[in-house]
Amino acid sequence: MTALGIAAAVKSGERTALDVLDEHLARISQRDTEIGAFNLVLADEARTAAREVDAAVSRGDAVGPLAGVPVALKDNLCTRGVPTTCSSRMLEGWRPPYDATVVQRLRSAGAVIVGKTNLDEFAMGSSTENSAFGPTRNPHDTDRVPGGSSGGSAAAVAAGFAPLALGSDTGGSVRQPAALCGVVGLKPTYGAVSRYGLVAFASSLDQIGPMASNVADAAACFEAISGHDPLDSTSIDGARDPVVAGLGQGVNGLRVGLVAELCAGSARLQEADGLDGVSAVEGVAADVIGRVDAAAAALEAAGAAVTVVSVPSAVLGLSAYYLIAPAEASSNLARYDGVRYGLRVDAANAAEMNVSSRTAGFGAEVKRRIMLGTYALSAGYYDAFYAKTLRVRTLMLRECAAAYAGVDVLLGPTAPTTAFELGAKTADPLLMYLNDVCTIPSNLTGHPAVSVPFGCGDDGLPVGVQLMGPALSEPVLLRAAAVLEKAAPPDGNAP
Amino acid sequence: MSPAERAPADRRRAYPSDVSGRITRDEAAHVARLARLRFSDEELDELAAQLSAVLDHAADVEALDVTDIAPTSHPHPLVNVTRADEVRPSLDRDEVLAQAPSVDDGQFRVPPILGEAP
C-alpha cells in the first residue's frame, strides 16, 4: 500500500494507523535480520504515535497529509531522547537533546516514526558497508549492496518495511541507493529542506531528501518536510509551488536535455551534432545507458522534446567533490573530541584524550576522509586543490545556467551500474567513489535531482534514471518522474 | 553556446607525468597529527597510497587554469541571518550534560590540559 493510500484509508476510518503499523512491524521482524535496514526499531514509540493518530481521527480532529504513514529515518537525523548513532562507534548510545526539524514536521503531518536506518558511517560511502554495526543488504538480492550512504532507508522502502523513508544526500546518498534498490529518491534544492538536526558531513552539499516506492509518495513527503526554518541559516525563505497537485500534468512541450558527459555510448550522442571532443565520465555501464535512452524515448512519446546537451565540467565533478566534501568533513568532524558527547577514551592529558577518542571512535573510511580533507586544507596545498575546486563549482553553475536556457530538465543515469556484490569495491576507495560520478554535479550546484526506477539491467536488477533541474524545480522534476514511472516496465520494482 | 566552445579541454593543461606517490609516510603522519588521529606505520603507508590515488584523480582539477573564475563556496548566495534579540529558552543543561562522558558540578570534565605533553 502506498503512503498516500494509507493516509487516505486512515483519515476515512477504513483502516487504523495501529493496524497499518503492526503490518509493517511484522514485515520488519520477519525479514530485517536478513536485510539489516534498521539500527533501531521504535515499536513502542511508534504504537503510541499511531494510537494518537487514531484517537484524533475518531475525535474528528484534522489530521495531516501523512496520517498514520510509517516512516523510517536515516540514523543521522536527531531524535530527542532516542539513540542517533550515524552508524559510528563515536556516537553509540548518544541521545540527542532535540529533534531535527524534519522529524517534527513529519510528526505534525501525522507520520509515525518506525525506526532509525543504517548508513555508511557519518554518511560517508556508497554501499552501506562502512557502518560500524554491519552492512545492509539489497532486498532484490541479498548478496548485493543496497548502495549508500542511505542504504538502510532505501532497503527499508524496497522491502516494504516502511512506505516512506528519509535519507541525506551529500554526493548522491539518496539517489544512488534509491536506484540500486528500485525506489524513488529525491535530492531537493539546497536550502529547500531544513537541515537543523541533521548530523553535519559537508555543509555546503548536505541535503535531506525523501525515498518512496512511488513518485507521488515522494512528492507528498517532500511537501511535508520542506519550507523555511529559522533554525537553519541556509534555509530558503519564501513561498513554494505545490508539487503533488501538479503531478498528473504530463510533459507535453517539456524540453529535456540528455547530458552528453554522463551518457557515453548513448545512440543519441552519435546522432547529435557538435559533440566532437566531448569527454564523458568513465564507467557507466551499457545496460544503464540503454535504460536512459529508453527513458528519453518514453518522455518523447509523452510529448517532451529531447535534445543532447553538453555540461563539460560534469567530468570534473568527482575530483572536485572528493576534495570539497572531505575538506568540509574534516572541519565538521573536529567536534568529536571526547569532551561534550560521544565516545571518550581517557588519557593523561586532554590532547592525548582527543587523539585516543577519535582514533577509537572513527572507522577507516571516516578517518580516510578526515585525512584527505585535512591535507587539502593544509598549508601549501590549499591553493593547488581546494581553492580550485571552488572555482570548478562556479564553472559548473555557469554551464548549468547555459544548459537551462535551452532545456527545462536534464536527463542521465543515477548510478553507473546496478547493485554490486558486497565486498566488491571495499578494497579500493577510489573505485567506490566512482559510484557518485553522475550524482555529484547536482550537489555541487545545489540543484534538485530525482532518481526514478526505469526497468532493469542485464542482470535483472533495478536501474534508476536521473532527472536534474534548476533551483526549486522540484514540481517539474517530479512531474516528469511521474511520466517515467507510468512508462516503466512493470517488473523492475518488486523484490 | 555550443558544446565545443565550452569544452574543458581548452582550460586543461597537460597532466603531470609522474602521478604516483604524491604523499609520503612522513607527510601522512604530519596530516594525522593535524587531524588528531593516530595510525601505525603500516596504516600510514596504506593511507599515503590511497590519498595519492585520489589526488592523482584530482590532477584534472589541479591542471585547470581557472584563475579568471570567482570561487563558489556555497550553491546559493548567502546573506547574514539575524533574529530579534529576545530571551528564549535554550537546551536544558541537565539533558545536555547527561550525554557527556564526564561531568563535574554542572560542567564538562576533561583531563589536565597543561602538564604532560601528548
**Per-domain residue ranges for chain B?**
12-62
pLDDT at B4 over 80: no
pLDDT at B10 over 70: no
Beta-bridge partner residues of A364: none
Which residue, A410, A405, A495, A397, is CA-closest to A450? A410
The answer to whether the beta carbons of residues A84 and A96 sit under 8 Å apart is yes
Contact B71 A390 (CB under 8 A): yes
Determine the pLDDT at residue A494: 60
Rounded to a whole number, what is the distance in Å from the CA of A9 to chain B's nearest CA? Answer: 38
Binned at pLDDT 50, 70 and 90, residue B118 comes out as very low
Binned at pLDDT 50, 70 and 90, residue A395 comes out as very high
Binned at pLDDT 50, 70 and 90, residue A492 comes out as low
Which residue, A57, A119, A54, A110, is CA-closest to A223? A110
Residue-wise pLDDT tens digits, B52-78:
999 999 998 988 899 899 999 888 877
Mean pLDDT of A70-92: 98
Active site residue A330: no
What percentage of chain A reaches a pLDDT higher than 90?
93
Which residues in chain A are closer than 8 Å to B34, comparing Cβ atoms? 374, 378
Query: Is the model more confident about A213 or about B80?
Result: A213
Query: Is the Cβ of A1 closer than 8 Å to some Cβ of chain B?
Result: no
Of residues A173, A226, A266, A357, which has the active-site annotation?
A: A173
Q: Strand, coil or helix: what is A295?
A: helix
Determine the pLDDT at residue A105: 98
Determine the pLDDT at residue A278: 82
pLDDT at B17 over 50: no
Binned at pLDDT 50, 70 and 90, residue A397 comes out as very high
Which residues in chain B are closer than 8 Å to A446, comparing Cβ atoms? 74-76
Burial class (CB in 10 A: 0-12, 13-18, 19+), B21: exposed
What DSSP state is assigned to residue A251? -
Residue-wise pLDDT tens digits, A262-275:
999 999 998 887 78
Contact A339 B53 (CB under 8 A): no
Contact A384 B8 (CB under 8 A): no
What DSSP state is assigned to residue A245? G
Query: Is the Cβ of A331 closer than 8 Å to some Cβ of chain B?
Result: no
pLDDT at B8 over 60: no
Determine the pLDDT at residue B20: 53
Query: Is the model more confident about A489 or about A412?
Result: A412
Mean pLDDT of A79-89: 98
Active site residue A74: yes
Q: Which of residues 134-193 of A touch B (CB under 8 A)?
A: 190-191
Which residues in chain A are closer than 8 Å to B31, comparing Cβ atoms? 371, 374-375, 378
Binned at pLDDT 50, 70 and 90, residue A305 comes out as very high
Which residues in chain A are closer than 8 Å to B58, comparing Cβ atoms? 319-320, 322-323, 385
Average pLDDT, chain A: 96
**What gap in Å lies between CA A102 and CA A229, rounded to an integer?**
10
Locus of grid cell 567536534: A335
Which residues in chain A are closer than 8 Å to B2, comparing Cβ atoms? 274
Q: Which residues contact B79 (CB under 8 A, 6 or more apart)?
A: none
Highest mean pLDDT among A229-233, A451-455, B6-10: A451-455
* DSSP per residue, A142-173: TTB---SSSHHHHHHHHTTS-SEEEEEESSST
- Number of A/B CB contacts below 8 angstroms equals 205
Of residues A87, A88, A126, A149, which has the active-site annotation?
A: A149
Determine the pLDDT at residue A384: 84
pLDDT at A442 over 60: yes
Q: Strand, coil or helix: what is A327?
A: helix
Just give the CATH number of A250-314+389-487: 3.90.1300.10
Determine the pLDDT at residue B15: 31
Mean pLDDT of A361-374: 98
Determine the pLDDT at residue B3: 37
pLDDT at A276 over 90: no
Binned at pLDDT 50, 70 and 90, residue A282 comes out as confident
A147-156, A483-492, B33-42, B64-73: which range is least confident on average? Answer: A483-492
Q: Which residues of A27-65 are buried (b: 16+ CB within 10 A; e: fewer)?
A: ebeebbeebbbbbbbbeebbbebbebbbebbeeeeebbb
pLDDT at A81 over 80: yes
Which residues in chain A are closer than 8 Å to B53, comparing Cβ atoms? 429-430
Determine the pLDDT at residue B9: 39
Rounded to a whole number, what is the distance in Å from the CA of B55 to chain A's nearest CA? Answer: 8
Mean pLDDT of A281-285: 92
CA separation, residue A332 to residues A7, A325, A370, A377, B100 (Å): 38, 10, 9, 13, 19
Just give the CATH number of A3-246: 3.90.1300.10
Q: How high is the ipTM of this complex?
A: 0.93
Contact A397 B9 (CB under 8 A): no
Mean pLDDT of A362-389: 93
The answer to whether the beta carbons of residues A7 and A16 sit under 8 Å apart is no
A300 CB neighbour count, 10 Å cutoff: 13
Contact B101 A343 (CB under 8 A): yes
Q: Which residues contact A395 (CB under 8 A, 6 or more apart)?
A: A313, A316, B8, B66, B69
Torsional sign, CA A117, A122, A127, A133: negative
Determine the pLDDT at residue A272: 83
**What gap in Å lies between CA A474 and CA B103, rounded to an integer?**
47
- Return the domain boundaries, chain A: 3-246, 250-314+389-487, 318-377
Determine the pLDDT at residue B16: 36
Determine the pLDDT at residue B115: 66
Which residues in chain B are closer than 8 Å to A358, comparing Cβ atoms? 35-37
Active site residue A173: yes
Beta-bridge partner residues of A12: none
Binned at pLDDT 50, 70 and 90, residue A385 comes out as confident
CA separation, residue A145 to residues A125, A424, A490 (Å): 11, 9, 23
Rounded to two decimals, the pTM is 0.95
From the list A274, A388, A446, the residue facing B76 with the nearest CB is: A446
Query: Is the Cβ of A52 closer than 8 Å to some Cβ of chain B?
Result: no
Q: Taking CA atoms, what residue in B is nearest to A310?
A: B3
Chosen from B54, B81, B85 to mutate, greatest number of chain A CBs within 10 A: B54
Determine the pLDDT at residue B53: 92
Just give the CATH number of B12-62: 1.10.20
Contact A387 B75 (CB under 8 A): no
Binned at pLDDT 50, 70 and 90, residue A489 comes out as confident
Burial class (CB in 10 A: 0-12, 13-18, 19+), A23: middle
Chosen from B24, B43, B55 to mutate, greatest number of chain A CBs within 10 A: B55
Pairing between β-strand A112-117 and β-strand A164-169 as defined by DSSP bridges: unpaired
From the list B9, B32, B115, the residue facing A277 with the nearest CB is: B9
Contact B35 A371 (CB under 8 A): yes
Query: Is the Cβ of A322 closer than 8 Å to some Cβ of chain B?
Result: yes
Q: Which of residues 192-231 of A touch B (CB under 8 A)?
A: 204, 230
Which residues in chain B are closer than 8 Å to A323, comparing Cβ atoms? 58, 61
Binned at pLDDT 50, 70 and 90, residue B18 comes out as very low
